[in-house]
Amino acid sequence: MATRDIDQQLHLTDRFSRAIDYARHLHIERRKATRIPYMAHLLGVASLVMGEAGQVPFPVTEDMVIAALLHDAAEDHGGQTRIADIRCNFGPEVARMIEGLSDTFTEDPCEKEDWDYRKKTYLERLPQESPETHLISAADKLYNARTILDEFRAVGPKVWDRFHRSRDKQLWYFNELLKVFKSAGTNRIVEELDRVVAELVRISR
């Protein structure tokens, strides 16, 4: 495989604008048990990915930023049918990354597989995904962990009531993801995720 230029400058085009509009129309829901628009999460993850331009040993591309914006589209809004639509609108590389970021491809979100099955299956598949997909996945998990930590400081253990699984299961999943990310080579996002999860473990005992 040819060595890519890691100094390549990230350039956002009208594809990025179209991806924001695509996500805005698709994700009209709110974050778990809050009044926060889901777009806050998607834009936050995309911002974390953009912030790693020049900080990781591969180019951070517009395709990666678009995949970050749309990383929950298949899981929550149509499975493989949604992947096909994204491939048509944003190209095969974006679709490939979103496949690697999804833990289910069930078209009806009400019929998703059991949480434990989805997470364990994702953990088994994640080591085979690309460094680009790992970075987006880690950014997603960092945003989530930071949010849980902030909300725990505000409301205490009641924050866990917002999830399908207990504190122990949520922390188990974060720590298993960290093992995969670290085994592939760490970066600033993985290191920050490690710190946030450790603090969450500490204060939520």
Tens of pLDDT, residues 20-39: 999 999 999 887 767 889 99
180: Cβ contacts below 8 Å, ≥ 6 apart: 123, 126, 127, 134
What class does CATH assign to 14-203? Answer: mainly alpha
The span from the CA of 137 to the CA of 146, in Å, is 14
* pLDDT on residue 4: 46
Please, what is the Cα angle at 148 between 132 and 177, to 5 degrees?
35
* pLDDT on residue 3: 39
Lowest mean pLDDT among 45-49, 82-86, 107-111, 128-132: 107-111
* pLDDT on residue 109: 84
Residue (of 146, 164, 161) closest to 200 by Cα position: 146
Residue (of 193, 157, 159) closest to 175 by Cα position: 193
Look at residue 164 and tell me whether its pLDDT is greater than 80: no
Lowest mean pLDDT among 93-107, 116-130, 155-169: 155-169
Read off the pLDDT band of 2 (50, 70, 90): very low
* pLDDT on residue 91: 98
* pLDDT on residue 110: 85
The span from the CA of 192 to the CA of 201, in Å, is 14
pTM passes above 0.85:
yes
Quick one: average pLDDT of 111-120? 94
Residue (of 110, 60, 66) closest to 92 by Cα position: 66
Backbone angles phi, psi at 131, to 5 degrees: -55, -35
Quick one: average pLDDT of 38-44? 96
What is the Cβ-side half-sphere exposure of residue 98, based on CA atoms within 13 angstroms? 32
Read off the pLDDT band of 99 (50, 70, 90): very high
Please answer whether residues 204 and 196 qualify as being in contact, where contact means their C-beta atoms are separated by less than 8 angstroms. Answer: no
Read off the pLDDT band of 7 (50, 70, 90): low
Q: Measured in whole angstroms, how far is the alpha carbon of residue 163 from the centre of its chain?
A: 17
Cβ-based burial of 43 (10 A; exposed 0-12, middle 13-18, buried ≥19): middle
State what percent of residues in the chain have pLDDT above 90: 84
Look at residue 186 and tell me whether its pLDDT is greater than 60: yes
Quick one: average pLDDT of 43-59? 97
Helical ranges in 27-130 per DSSP H: 38-50, 62-69, 73-76, 79-90, 92-101, 115-125
- Give residue limits of the domains in the chain: 14-203
